[in-house]
Structure 1
Amino acid sequence: MSLAFLYNVASCIAYALVSAAYGSLYYVERRRGYLFVALIFLAYTIDIVLLFMYEFVPEFAMQFEGARNAYPMFHTAYNMVVILLYRLVLGSLLSRRFSPIEGFFWAVCMMVAWASGASSVETVALWREFLFARLLALWVIGYGACCLVAELQHMSRWRWVFSLVLVLVYALGETATYLDFFGQANGGGFASPRKAPVEVMALCFTVAAYVFLAHHRRMRNAKLAESLVPWIAREYGLTKREEVLLSLLEKGASNKEIAEQEYISVNTVKTHISNVYAKLGVSSRDELAQKLREELRGRKRAGF
């Protein structure tokens, strides 16, 4: 089994899993940025599947070349949609929507690039498509850089860092694509459908997407843990004093620390803790910790 085969399979699985994960996040949280990320990785998945079939199924490669020559506009449309999705993801991270002027600019560039595919002169069509596609890509990079500078003091650190990664990796990928295009133009010959700069960029975004998922899960767990004590207090009928003590117990405070913080005696603390144990059906701190973990897992499964 060749390395190329394993690479294609691994990439396809990774892209599909990211697409499914962000699609699930969109379904739960209804944030459009997650939907746009899911669509980008869906496009990556389709692309890697086509490349896999192109390289390992000779009959498909012949049909693919014929279709690409007969319908070049579909390739143009695919590139434009991917660039647009990057802009939408960046806009979601930076909380920036399309203005009417920017929308008009995108519409004009996309229509001209699409129309260029109908040109009878192949060289003219190729250069027009490249020009307007790269123009929109440069717009995404420049727009993102300007917004990052403007939002440096206003955005959360994680969102700003992920936005910066998006812009930097995309800019490097576009630079490599630009150089690759001119190398092929000068060297002649038909371009291979596999573009190394695009795949490197996709892999970088995949790593960033998984890192963000891990961060999102960690933040979600922290929020669930913060809201767990009030929820348990309501469910098990704890008093306000017992709720405060449960919160301190959850953080690992000792009886003496609780007494000092709440300005009550150690004996009073022990009495309240005994009441908490009785209501929750536990008899020790270890059992309480286990009870809290079980309740947290239950809230996650319930979709809280």
Structure 2
Amino acid sequence: MGESVAQHREKFSIESAWIRCFAALSALLVETWLVNSVLYPQVSMVIPEARDAASLVGVAGFVAFAVAASKRPSLLDERRLAIGSFAGYGTGLSLIAGGLLYGNPALVFAGACLRTLSTRWFVIQTGLALCNLGGRSCMLCIASSFVASYLLRIPFEMAGGVVSGAVLAAIPCVVFFLVRGLAGETLSYVRSGSPRSELSITQPETYVPFAHALFASFFVFRIAYGFALAFGSTEGNPHQTLFGLIPVALVCAMVFLPKMPKADMLFQAAALLVIAGFLVAVAFGGYRDGWPFHSVVNGLLYAGSECFEILMWFVLVSIGSRNKANSLVVFAWGRAACSAGLLAGVTIGHAVNGFDGAIAGSAAIAVVLFSFVAVNMTVFKNLGFQATIEGVRSEKALVVPARSESGLAEKSLCAAQCYALTKRETEILGMLARGRNASFVQEQLTVSRNTVKTHVANIYAKLGVHSQQELIDLVEQIETVRL
């Protein structure tokens, strides 16, 4: 009976977490749509540069969170971040409203930048909350949120600016109170985890490096979304389409299959949709003023970018759930890459809009298409999203067997001889076998961090291990190995 009650409570907890994450992500997606379709067109009428400046500030905000979580995770105080974000968001909207009312570009510019910067924490909170869901449940939650956001656009399209403004003001509060507890659980792992600089040396499988092709792919695909927003836009108003429901339907079908396909299937679908959109744009570049052209081109580009947006959320959250201590770094850096790509895409789209004549416009789009295909065939040729997810391991506390210094030194020396380690590598092996971290090695040997990283990588390669714990276990069993 007791076990049955415990199972019921656990099931209720999981269902509650799913519903809260679904509602929060749906609200964030609606907020993004309202900003692009309602707020920014009005802002652009007063000062067009505010949109791009706000996007750039948003990128800087995500980068700042990634760096802080990487270097000093203990500085991430949830209460202070929430207070600062709410204050900044409210002030930003007030400045925008005042600037629009009095036609003051400076107020609108400052308000747009401050509002965007203040939303970064709410986006990160939602990502941290989603880390508490499982693979299939997480994918279903993300796909369902996209469906809900599309359905919610219908009443807002008929509502006035006052209603949209009120909803924009309320969404951060809704998101915060929905995911605060769930995000707090994940944030506790982030704050108590080892510094990223340490893990990159002793436990390289627990993190994804900043230079990983995964983040580059986010940047490239968001260029397509930014291009779709700007291409053929009229006075800052992007052409909206319901083609984005195509990838949502695809994901929903995937989730309910007996065996859910790998995440790479979404990547392939996204790439095909984006390429198709660019091809149509090249073929009918002379008819940019026609509604069917806009509908098809923007529809395909939207569908491809939305497909990749779902994939991006799923990949970042899945990596974060496998190693919660590094979840904020991965999510913030991934979102920074997305925001930077969006800004680049919007810039390219506006530039293409400025070309006179069908030939010039088609040629510019052809260059963008060629670059997109070339990058996917070269840089992302060996990128596997599912493999990247499954390759991440959670951070584990080291277990060092109790043994005398002389006994451990003898085992370490024996291991060094068996695997032909150099003198310097033998010294470092002895320290690692005692559970010492990379900072300790760096201080003891008075060498740079990169030198320690190189030596540790060589030691791991020679011993055939992938983490410090595996190294400790191998040294402990070295006598058995020799026999």
| TM-score, normalised via structure 2 length | 0.22
| TM-score, normalised via structure 1 length | 0.31
Higher-Rg structure is 1
